[in-house]
Structure 1
Amino acid sequence: MGLLLFSLTLPGTLGEASPVIGEDDEYSKTVEVGESVSFNWTIYRNSSRSYAVNVKLDGFGDWSEKIQPNFFILDDQQKHSIVTLTVQVPSFPEDKEKEGTLTFTFRQLNESTPSYVMEKDVSVEVTGVPGAGEENTIVGGFRNPLPAPLNGPEGAFLLNLFIWFGIGLVSFLVVTPFLHGLTKKTETDLDDIFVKLIRRPLLVLIFLYGFIHSLFKLGIQIQIQAGIYKIYYLLILGVGIYVSYRLFDAVLDEISIKRGGETSTFAAVLKPVLEKISVIVILLGGAIIALRILGIEITPLLAGAGVMGLVIAFAAQDTLSNFFSGMHLLLDRPFIPGDVLLLESGEYCRVKEVGIRSTRLYNIREHEMVILPNNNLANQKIMNLAEPDKKMRVAVEVGVAYGSDIEKVKEILHEVIQDHDDIIDEEGFEPFIGFTEFGDSALNFKLRFWVDDYMKQWAVASTIRERINREFKEAEVTIPFPQRTVWMKDEKDDTSS
């Protein structure tokens, strides 16, 4: 391996061997736009002395470069080290070639000033630059066929504009209507919506592409091309954001129709929330892409946003908990507006509105509007009286005096619940009358029967109790009430006796 030495000797003893940079690699390389290229050198100690080595690069401007390692020690344990320079060409370079100088500074470990300074010059040439070699050509790479005075770059520019204008019109008037005709034959409507949405944006994209690439036929300088391409990609990004939002909104509309139309819970509550979230997500994603197009480093911004997100999440954990609980209730749909719920507290409430943060309930018995946080509602046991249907089993308890004829009591109770219009008496829903326990002062019975509507449970139970009271009176069956005998002890009588 041949060795080439570039050195400037500072303090040092005459004749002492200096470090050496090996000729491991070329010093001029070519690379495609947006790609990276690497240079490698091996640094040899070449003496018994130990050195601390610093490596620095100058000259590549706004191009991204990385030196690995940029500091190392040459001593008895490490007599040589490989240094790698990696250069990243931006997507929109303003120069077709860049040159840089790599400076190696050697300092003996027992000295404070540099012992040697060596330099290496490198250059990078960019290939694949948009528009390169396309001057005065038309679509397909053919030379401009127009006669003078339009046989120059200006004529090629106008001819290309005309060709791309024609391609856009064919796409708008022929291709997309043809695709729309094909999508009509499918069962789903989403493909029809997609083709309809992209018709005009596709025309805009074709015109943009045609205009930008027609400009390159004029032989525009690479510095101007970089700015033009940034504007071009930003416009494409804007079209993409518009199409993404419209497509997502169309999908939500389709789901709303399948869920019951504009009056459904999805359309009234969940759809507006998803629309707002989609706007934030799409715009945020678009902003990140736009920053990258402009060459702005987004890693520090993302790191800061992550920290800020953690702070916000910690501060608003209750709000976020209610939000996600609301999303769960809206998607899982354990109840819908109009259903009657029996809460753990014993309250009977009709669902009025299921929101993102809270649910509004109407307390049937107390005539009150109850607003419960969704997190509270999602974490408690709830009975939905509207599911699986409106039928409900009602229990009525009654006690009779000890010594009463049990069979006679059961016969009376059976007659009481007969012929009631709201009580169901069919297979699977038969009434039940049972002697449940020997109470402190009564024989206790329980009636269980089904009503056809849970909202009638209180009225039917009241009617049944009235009938029981009336029938027991006629049959001379006593309904006892708790009695207690209290004996008062006379202390004077006890002492006198």
Structure 2
Amino acid sequence: METRKRERRSKLVRNFNKTILMAIFGIAIISLVPCAFSLASASQPINIFSMDSHDQQINAGEIASYRWVLFNNASSAYLIHVSVNPLSDKDWHATFNKDFITLSPDQDETIILNITTSRTMGTKDLSFVVVFNVTEMSEPTNTYQITQNIHLKIVSLFGTRAGENKLFGIWDNFLPSPFDTNYGAFIFTLIGWIVIALVIAFIIDPIVHRFTRKTKTELDDRLLKIIHGPLFAIIVLYGIVNSLEILNIPIDIIATIELIYSISMVIIIVWLAYRIYDNILIYYAKSFAKKTEMEIDDVLVPLFEKIGMIIIPLLGFTAILHILGFDVTVIIAGVGVLGLVIGLAAQSTLSNLFAGLQLLVDRPFKVGDLILMEDGEVCEVRKIGLRSITLYDIFKHSNIIIPNNEIANKKIINIVQPDRKYKRSVTVGVAYGSDVKKVESILLQAALEHPNVLKDEEHAPVVRFEDFGDSALIFTIYFWVDDVRNQWKATSDIRKKIDEKFREAGIEIPFPQRTVWLRQLEKDTQTK
């Protein structure tokens, strides 16, 4: 038993000693790590961190970027000169955002290497050596170099299938000799595309037209008529380019051919888009606008037609500039600044434009309505445009053009709303002592006899004894005319009828008069 106890004790002691030794060893390692880092820092005071992969792949015409962050972990300032080898070629060139940088202690800077490639270059694998020459500014003799290797693969945009001797650029050439060469594949492919174009133009197109003629809508007929020519041109152009690319011709010639092909395709697509926009969208929009009573579509449809005439070719022009290698973002930014300048210069025009849209949406009046202006003029609305409104003065026989912003801020009375019936009145004075009931009867009879005066219960004429005037009893007859345009003739006719009936009845329409009593003069006469 004692022997076993001793063995257990010795085993525990050995385990404890091992644990103590491992703890001491771990502490020693941890304490040595800062020393290692400090030694490393002392050996290389400038740390360089790569932010991008050293192996990249881009298409020809694009820009490859490599970034490094440099950090000074020493106590002295350092000057770094960065260079790359090779620097340029006829198809590409390399540039740094900074060739020289100065780093103070604990300062960092970012170095960017941009490799710009040409759109017409072929597929290439490029290798570069980037050299960082580091010099301590306090000790110029203390210099060292850091080098990094980078790799860039550039994939050609043009002529990727050149010289492959494949029919239509897809299938291996199975033709017998002497047509088993690139030239044989070229001739066979070119003839094939011509046959495809002729089949579509003279066989498929008439068959499709035969089916579309049986449909009730003319949309399919109009669409086929529009796309017939452009589709044929697209097939012919693509067939020519596809055939030429089979030949093993220089990359610069292929690039020129595909550049012409791309520009031609943009022109065809822009022309096709405009034809569809104008002959289908605008056509049906105009047809719809004619069926509605709203003026907003009659104004907006021509506006969108003009906008399409500008926007669609402008987009095509932008696409062509992009194909030619211009930076479209700069052009768009310039157009944005130009638009801002034009907007500031055309504030009045834009104000009239939005006021016109407001008038078209709110519809306080429409074309053909009669409106009463603030100055008392009665005008007919002839045209509501986006910039101005055209009014016709029915009394002066003249057109008045008023900016929308101005008329939107004026008090306008639409005298044909809520309907074309209009209420008028005629005021007349009769001599004191006249028979009031007889006067009222004559006034009612004069209004009721007119054909344009409404006689139903809701709109029947009404006579009111308005006031005791200085020289007459004042009466007013209120009546409704059937149409606002008849108000002036009806009012004039009723005045004539009232005068005629008053004369027949012996009712006097007095003129203003005053009676003056000269009492002092009578007294003086009696005294004499």
For the criterion TM > 0.5, the same-fold answer is: yes
Query: Is the Cα–Cα contact under 8 Å of residues 122 and 158 in structure 2 kept in the other structure?
Result: no
Within the candidate set 437, 440, 463, 1:410 is matched to 440
Aligned residue number for residue 244 of structure 1: 273
Alignment of 1:19-30 (within 5 A): 19=46, 21=48, 27-30=54-57
Alignment of 1:361-400 (within 5 A): 361-385=391-415, 390-400=420-430
Aligned in 2, Cα 1:472/1:321: closer, same or farther, shift over 3 Å? same
Residue 305 (str. 1) matches residue 332 (str. 2): no
- Name the structure where helix makes up a greater proportion of residues: 2
Give the C-alpha shift of residue 154 in structure 1.
1.4
Residue 31 (str. 1) matches residue 61 (str. 2): no
Q: Which amino acid aligns with 1:280?
A: I
Q: Distance in 2 between matches of 1:218 and 1:75?
A: 59
Aligned residue number for residue 284 of structure 2: 254
Q: Distance in 1 between matches of 2:425 and 2:489?
A: 13
Query: Is the Cα–Cα contact under 8 Å of residues 55 and 71 in structure 1 kept in the other structure?
Result: yes
Within the candidate set 182, 190, 212, 1:153 is matched to 182
| Alignment deviations for residues 162-212 of structure 1 (CA, whole Å, 9 cap, x no partner) | 222233334434555566566667776445433321121112112222221
| Alignment deviations for residues 101-138 of structure 1 (CA, whole Å, 9 cap, x no partner) | 64545465668999666554534212374442452112
Query: Is the Cα–Cα contact under 8 Å of residues 82 and 99 in structure 2 kept in the other structure?
Result: yes
Aligned residue number for residue 232 of structure 1: 261
Aligned residue number for residue 448 of structure 1: 478
Within the candidate set 199, 209, 214, 2:228 is matched to 199
Give the C-alpha shift of residue 464 in structure 1.
0.7
Residue 94 (str. 1) matches residue 121 (str. 2): yes
Q: Which amino acid aligns with 1:157?
A: F
Q: Distance in 2 between matches of 1:277 and 1:348?
A: 35
Structure possessing the higher radius of gyration over alpha carbons: 2
Residue 127 (str. 1) matches residue 155 (str. 2): yes
Q: Distance in 1 between matches of 2:173 and 2:229?
A: 30
* Structure 1 segments unaligned to the other structure (5+ residues): 1-14
* Structure 2 segments unaligned to the other structure (5+ residues): 1-41
Within the candidate set 157, 163, 167, 1:138 is matched to 167
Range moving further from structure 2, 433-442 or 231-240: 433-442
Give the C-alpha shift of residue 157 in structure 1.
1.5
Q: Distance in 2 between matches of 1:114 and 1:483?
A: 123
Aligned in 2, Cα 1:302/1:116: closer, same or farther, shift over 3 Å? farther
Q: Which amino acid aligns with 1:205?
A: I
Q: Distance in 2 between matches of 1:300 and 1:266?
A: 36
Give the C-alpha shift of residue 245 in structure 1.
2.0
| Alignment deviations for residues 54-102 of structure 1 (CA, whole Å, 9 cap, x no partner) | 6566437776989689887645434x66756565767x44232255564
What is the SS of the residue equivalent to 2:463? strand
Aligned residue number for residue 5 of structure 1: none
Range moving further from structure 2, 361-370 or 109-118: 109-118
Q: Which amino acid aligns with 2:233?
A: V
Q: Distance in 1 between matches of 2:248 and 2:234?
A: 22
Aligned in 2, Cα 1:40/1:365: closer, same or farther, shift over 3 Å? closer
Q: Which amino acid aligns with 2:442?
A: I
Q: Distance in 1 between matches of 2:359 and 2:454?
A: 33
Q: Distance in 2 between matches of 1:213 and 1:427?
A: 86
Give the C-alpha shift of residue 462 in structure 1.
0.7
Q: Distance in 2 between matches of 1:165 and 1:120?
A: 54
Give the C-alpha shift of residue 218 in structure 1.
1.0
Give the C-alpha shift of residue 239 in structure 1.
0.8
Q: Distance in 1 between matches of 2:459 and 2:93?
A: 79
Q: Which amino acid aligns with 2:447?
A: I
Q: Which amino acid aligns with 2:155?
A: T
Cα RMSD for the two superposed structures: 4.5
Tell me the TM-score normalised to structure 1 length: 0.76
Aligned residue number for residue 219 of structure 1: 248
Query: Is the Cα–Cα contact under 8 Å of residues 52 and 66 in structure 2 kept in the other structure?
Result: yes
Identity of aligned residues (%): 38
Residue 434 (str. 1) matches residue 464 (str. 2): yes
Aligned in 2, Cα 1:444/1:132: closer, same or farther, shift over 3 Å? same
Aligned residue number for residue 50 of structure 1: 77
Within the candidate set 373, 377, 395, 1:347 is matched to 377
Q: Which amino acid aligns with 1:450?
A: W
Query: Is the Cα–Cα contact under 8 Å of residues 59 and 99 in structure 1 kept in the other structure?
Result: no
Query: Is the Cα–Cα contact under 8 Å of residues 25 and 40 in structure 1 kept in the other structure?
Result: yes
| Alignment deviations for residues 396-425 of structure 1 (CA, whole Å, 9 cap, x no partner) | 233445665554433322211113212222
Q: Distance in 1 between matches of 2:288 and 2:435?
A: 61
Range moving further from structure 2, 431-440 or 219-228: 431-440
What is the SS of the residue equivalent to 2:166? coil
Tell me the TM-score normalised to structure 2 length: 0.73
Aligned in 2, Cα 1:113/1:395: closer, same or farther, shift over 3 Å? farther
Give the C-alpha shift of residue 31 in structure 1.
3.4
Alignment of 1:276-287 (within 5 A): 276-287=306-317
Query: Is the Cα–Cα contact under 8 Å of residues 59 and 101 in structure 1 kept in the other structure?
Result: no
Aligned residue number for residue 291 of structure 1: 321
Aligned residue number for residue 8 of structure 1: none
Q: Which amino acid aligns with 1:470?
A: E
